[in-house]
Amino acid sequence: MKVVVLGQDPYINKDQAHGLSFSVKDGTSLPPSLKNIFKELEGDIGIKREQSDLSDWAAQGVLMINGTFTVQKGISNSHKNIGWLDFTKDVINHLNTKKSHIVYIAWGSFAQKLCSNVDNKTNLVLSSAHPSPLSSYRGFFGSNHFSKTNEYLRNHKLEEIKWC
């Protein structure tokens, strides 16, 4: 595990979510947040990504995890109180105490709260506004988290992520 990308909960529309935060299977219409992630990726490191399935990132050591793993169709954050959040907090705490030199990417206040106890001396937490169209212009665009992640990995003699 080299990078953790935190989301709030799965996409709420039918056939969008498939287990990785922000990712959708190829051929699925791009959700607005993922469109903005791809805009930032291109603006930051010049990569125009075609695949919407981010499994290739996961295969390189990027844990893309939501705070909650399920939702009621059409209702964001509808399962926030059924125990998933405790599990996610335990995962982050375990990683924080057992492994160092992880980059935590916390887009939005929800993800930032999940990272509030991460040790900044042995890891890197990158925070910005959420990539949703409602908040992306308040600091998500121009955050350069893709290049900053790879710079941190490179500086700690870890293989960079191929974001393409």
Q: What are the catalytic residues?
A: 9
Strands (E), 97-164: 103-107, 124-128
> Residue with structure tokens 């955050």?
143
Half-sphere exposure of 105 (CA within 13 A, CB side): 26
Q: How many CB atoms lie under 10 A from the CB of residue 160?
A: 15
Picking from 85, 124, 134, 120, the residue whose alpha carbon sits closest to that of residue 104 is: 124
